[in-house]
Chain A
Amino acid sequence: MKAIYKRELKSYFDNVIGFVFIAILVAFTGIYFLAYNLAGGYPYFSYSLGSVLFIFMLAMPILTMKSFSDERKLKTDQLLLTSPVSISSIILGKYFAMVTVFAVPVCISFLCPIIIKANGTAFLVADFSTIFAFFLLGCVYIAIGMFISSLTESQIISAVGTFGILLVLYLWPSLIEFLPTTANGNIIGFIILLTALVFIIYSITKNWLISAVLEGIGLAAILITYIVNKDIFDNGLSKLLSNISLTAPFETFAYNQIFDIGGIIYYISIIAAFSFLTMQSLQKRRWS
């Protein structure tokens, strides 16, 4: 793992990618810091960080796009996969290298609350914990980007795909508002969701019996719940889906100054889930 970590990290700074990524994040953090805190006089740095989140969508794909797709294209994955290292340590090595690159702008941003402090009232604890949440959210995005990169041979597809997913995640809270509010509308939504899920299960297992049984059980459960208690379905979809919002825990940190332990656990589990998916995607490629 150490060898891969070292090589990856070095490669980020041998290419311009590492520098470009750091430059973009530092520059935009600086701009928002200047606009909101220095010029606007707002004492919370976390507010600026909330806006930097938007820049994530552009910067993260640059960092993650080549992590696995490039290996596959240059066939260097053959070296990694035939050497006596486990797949998980390959993934962790690469992941930590990206996290390290990302840690550079995050560390620089620790200066901002201190600058505010030097010029008046600052809320150091709140700001520092927001920076921590910001870092974790970035790590989640890196894990997602890494997974997308492991799916394709092309860096471009990897970058665009990651951008698309991050954009959807960014817009998630607003998108949810478009969902139907009535019980009848929601039940249709749930059925569509269930069918999509069953379809995914089918495409993985290729077993129509299991899929059909699952679909049947799901449908029955939805219908029984609907007959027993119709009111649950009012706004049910948006309630369910807003729980998966990735930015919500960060916003609790940034705007409400609450240290959200649940949110941190949520972030860490998403990181673990996507690292696991990356592992599966690498494994799967060997069997197809």
Chain B
Amino acid sequence: MIEVKDLVKKYGNHMAVNHLSFTVEKGQIYGFLGPNGAGKSTTMNIMTGYLGATSGEVLINGLNVLEEPEKAKKSIGYLPEIPPLYTDMTVYEYLSFVAELKKIPKKEKEESIEKVIDMVKLEDVEGRLIKNLSKGYKQRVGLAQAILGFPEIIILDEPTVGLDPKQIIEIRDLIKKLAKEHTIILSSHILSEVSAICDHIMIISHGKLVASDTPENLENLMSGQNTLQLSIKGDKEKVQKVLRSIKGVGALELLPTVEDGCVEINVTISDKTDIRENIFYECANNKLPIYTMKHNKVSLEDVFLELTESKQDAKEDNDILLSEGHIEEKEEVSEVSKEEKLDESNL
């Protein structure tokens, strides 16, 4: 469907997109994830033919966007970061203008506008001037514009920005519905959004693709760092001694006691093997009853932070999804090694 080959975009000395390559397959929802300023919007702008790349090319159904722009753009619907709305038009006028721009045949025009208005729930504001609409409605008009004519590929740059929680859920459902017949690429810096709707996540940082996989696989990639949270009745020293004797147990971290006489402990698993059974039997042999055992998988959030931020930052701002794009040069090194690691596991 879409092939992006070795894309580079320079703004002066700044590399906005740095040798980006990926392919997009039909009928899936792709999520571009990355901190602000990572190059998501620039990449989308290049893919849709709004910007030219410094080098590299984009093929849409085998057509180069720059060489055969009119043919290639026909199969794309695009909602840019700021919805491109003519504020002095009414919603209906605007959509009918877009329909003409997209060269939708006259016979189908009215029907497809009605359908889109119905899908994005714009019936109430159909006849109002766009400039008098709220941000949420404007965003929806922008979305309506993108899906008008039902192009094969729909590219959405931060589609849920400015919407209230109810609208966000509606739009997500809409995107999922559209994905049955269309290929959808959306960008976001909100992780929960991407993991909720996307089949495939591409994490971009500094204009580079640092990871590209399904949400589940991305979580598994980091399974080397999985931890078990245990609550064991018994003596602190004994518990630690017993646990240390089990193969595959890495660092132990004592947590504050919750229940009297119990030890709360975090066990980092250094192997990729499942050692829960071993722990159970070993503890049972030593008469140490296990009250709880919880497998703490690395969340997507951790993966994201790992890949886009330096480790130190990640620990400090664990609770926020991302810190606003102040990423320093020094991470480059850790990123490169991450990339290699990912490549290996992809193979």
Contact = CB atoms under 8 A, between A and B. Distances in A.
Contacts of A83: 73, 98, 101-102
Given A2-B100, A75-B80, A75-B82, A82 B49 contact: yes
B50 A78 contact: yes
Contacts of B101: 3-4, 79-80, 83-85
B181 interface: no
A240 to B, nearest CB: 38
Contacts of A3: 97, 100-101
B187 interface: no
Contact of B49 (A11, A75, A76, A81): A81
B86 A78 contact: no
A121 interface: no
B69 to A, nearest CB: 7
B86 A84 contact: no
Interface in A258-285: none
Interface in A48-97: 74-86
B102 A84 contact: yes
B84 A78 contact: yes
Given A82-B48, A85-B101, A76 B84 contact: yes
A75 B84 contact: yes
Nearest to A86: B70
Interface string B7-45: 000000000000000000000000000000000000001
A15 interface: yes
A7 interface: yes
Contact of A82 (B50, B52, B103): B50
Nearest to B78: A82
A15 to B, nearest CB: 7
Given A2-B100, A11-B86, A286 B51 contact: yes
A11 B130 CA distance: 13
A287 B52 contact: yes
B243 interface: no
Nearest to A70: B86
Given A82-B49, A82-B78, A83-B73, A74 B100 contact: no
Contacts of B88: 11, 14-15
Given A3-B97, A4-B101, A84 B71 contact: yes
A14 B52 CA distance: 34
Max chain B Cβ within 10 angstroms of own Cβ: one of A78, A79, A286: A79
B85 interface: yes
Contacts of B69: 84, 86
A286 B52 contact: yes
Nearest to A7: B97
Nearest to A15: B88
A241 B68 CA distance: 42
B280 to A, nearest CB: 58
Interface string B48-70: 11111000000000000000011
Contacts of B50: 78, 81-82, 286
A79 B148 CA distance: 13
A3 B97 CA distance: 6
Contacts of A78: 45, 50, 78, 80, 82, 84
B78 A7 contact: no
B87 to A, nearest CB: 7
A7 B86 contact: yes
B74 A84 contact: yes
Contacts of A86: 69-70
Interface in B78-117: 78, 80, 82, 84-89, 97-98, 100-103
B76 interface: yes
A84 B87 contact: no
Given A4-B101, A74-B85, A79 B145 contact: yes
B73 A76 contact: no
A10 to B, nearest CB: 8
A2 B45 CA distance: 25
Nearest to B54: A287
Nearest to B53: A287
Contact of B84 (A6, A79, A84): A79
Contacts of B51: 286-287
Contact of A84 (B45, B52, B73, B145): B73
Contacts of A14: 88-89
A4 B86 CA distance: 12
A253 B147 CA distance: 53
Nearest to A283: B52
Nearest to B48: A82
B80 to A, nearest CB: 5
Interface in A1-25: 2-4, 6-7, 11, 14-15
A99 to B, nearest CB: 20
B303 to A, nearest CB: 32
B73 A79 contact: no
A4 to B, nearest CB: 7
B52 A85 contact: no
A31 B51 CA distance: 49
Nearest to A14: B88
B102 A76 contact: no
29 contacts: A2-B100, A7-B86, A7-B89, A11-B86, A14-B88, A14-B89, A15-B88, A74-B84, A75-B80, A76-B84, A76-B85, A78-B50, A78-B78, A78-B80, A78-B82, A81-B49, A82-B48, A82-B76, A82-B80, A83-B73, A83-B98, A83-B101, A84-B69, A84-B74, A84-B101, A85-B70, A86-B70, A286-B50, A286-B51
Given A78-B80, A79-B80, A79-B84, 6 more contacts: A11-B86, A14-B88, A78-B45, A82-B76, A84-B69, A85-B70
Closest 7 CB pairs of A and B: A3-B100, A79-B84, A82-B48, A83-B101, A84-B73, A76-B84, A84-B74
